[in-house]
Structure 1
Amino acid sequence: MATFRLEVTVRDLRRDDLPGCGWAGGPGHLGFVTVALRRAELGEVEYLAVCPPTDLPLAIGGVDYTRRPGAGTLWQLAVHPAVRSCGLGTLLIGAAERRIAERGHDRAELSVAEDNPRARALYERLGYLAYGREPEEWNVVTPDGTVTRHRATCVLMRKPLH
C-alpha cells in the first residue's frame, strides 16, 4: 500500500470552477450551484472549494446564513469519489465552521438523510449532535437531465462554535 501527501487550500468556489465539478452532480445540480453562487454575491451564503495545487476543486460545499437565526447551515457538501475518506470532507467542514464563527454566529447546523449513516458518522465524529428530525425534499437531476423530487427524513444536527 502506498501513501501520498497532497497539499490543499480552501477558497471560495468560482463560476469558472463549475465545468470541473461534474463529479459533484450532473448539469442540473451544477445549475443549483450556480444559483448558490449568485446568493454568495449577495452575502446570503458562502460556497467553498478544497483544491490541490492544480486549483481544481476536489471537495465543495456551502454555508447558508439565512436558514436558521444565529447559525450557519452547511449544505450540498460533496467530495470527489476518488479521494473520499482522505480527510477532505473534514477539512471542508472545519473551514466552513471557521467562516461561520468569523461572521459572529455561535453554531453550525446541518441535516443528513437517515439513510446516509456514513455521513452521519462523520458529523458525529466532528462534534455534531442530533437534536431532531424533519422531512426534507430536494431535486435530484439524473444524467439525462430529468429532475425528480427526492423526499427523505433527515436528522437535524448542530455543533456549538465557541
Structure 2
Amino acid sequence: MSLLPAGAAEVVVPVLVRDLTVADLPDCAWSGSAAHLVRVARELERAAAGEVDYLAVCAPAGLPVAIGCVDYRVAVGAGTLSQLGVLPALQSCGLGTVLVRAAEDRVRSRGLRRAELGVEESNPRARALYERLGYVAYGREPDAWDVEAPDGSLRRYETMCTLMRKDLA
C-alpha cells in the first residue's frame, strides 16, 4: 500500500552531511531572519575554535536543506543540539532524522555519551521526532531570543522548552 497520492512518484535523492560554512549562509535564508543568520555566523566562529560543530545536510547541488549546531560547552559530558532546522518544503522527508543522527555521531566522536536538546512546547512535531529517536524529557525551562520583525526592528521572543536527553552509549 502506498502513502503517495495517485499519480505521484517517489524520488530518492542522496544527501551529504558536512560542516556548514560562512559561504553557505546566503543559501540558509529559509532558516530564519537576518538576525538569526548573524547568530549562525557567530556559531561558525565558535566552530573554528572547536567549541561547537555546525552541520549542514546538503542536496546533490551542495545547498543546505537542513542545518543544526552541537554545542560542547553547555552541559558537562554532553553535546547540546540547537538551532535545528529543515527547509520547510522538505519537512517530514527524513532530513531531520539524518541531521540529528549526524549530530549524535559528532557527539560520540568527541568521546561523549549523551546528547541533550530543548524543544519548544509549541512544537509537538519536533518533540515527536526526538522521542522517535530515543530522547526522553527530563525537565523544562524558559528560553528567549531576539527575532526580527517585518519592519526590521528586533523584539524579544519568549517560550517554554521541554529539556530532552539521550544516552548514546
TM-score under structure 2 length normalisation = 0.93
Task: Determine which of 114, 135, 143 is the counterpart of 1:136.
Answer: 143
- Structure 1 partner of 2:164: 157
Task: Give structure 1 stretches of 5+ with no counterpart.
Answer: none
Q: 1:141, CA displacement in angstroms?
A: 2.1
Q: Report the equivalent of 1:17.
A: 24
Cα RMSD, aligned residues only: 0.9
Does 2:76 align with 1:47?
A: no
User: Matches of 1:115 and 1:52 in 2, distance apart?
Assistant: 29
- For residues 126-150 of structure 1, what are the alpha-carbon distances to aligned partners after superposition, in whole Å with 9 as ceiling and x for unaligned? 0000000111112222344322111
| Greater RCO (Cα-Cα under 8 Å, separation 6 or more) | 1
AA of the residue aligned to 2:41:
T
- Structure 2 spans left out of the alignment, 5+ residues: 1-7
Residue 90 (1) aligns with residue 105 (2): no
Question: Which amino acid is the alignment partner of residue 94 of structure 2?
Answer: G
Give the Å deviation of 1:85: 0.4
Distance change >3 Å, CA 144–CA 12, structure 1 → 2: farther
Counterpart residue number, 2:125: 118
Q: Which residue identity lines up with residue 77 of structure 2 in the other structure?
A: G
Structure with higher Rg: it is 2
* Alpha-carbon distance in structure 2 between the residues aligned to 1:145 and 1:45: 29
Aligned position for 1:28: 35
Residues 1:60 and 2:67 are matched in the alignment = yes
CA gap of 1:149–1:7, structure 2 versus 1, over 3 A, is same
CA offsets 1:65-103 (integer angstroms, 9 cap, x no match) = 000000000000010011110000000000000000110
One-letter amino acid of the structure 1 residue matched with residue 112 of structure 2: H
2:86–2:95: 8 Å Cα contact kept in structure 1?
yes
1:145 paired with 2:152, answer yes
Aligned residues: 162
Could you say which residue in structure 1 is the equivalent of 2:5? none
Cα distance in 1, alignment partners of residues 148 and 73 from structure 2: 25
Residues of 2 paired with 1:147 and 1:42: CA distance?
29
Give the secondary structure class of the aligned counterpart of 1:133: strand
Using the size of structure 1 for normalisation, the TM-score is 0.97
SS in 1 for 2:163: strand
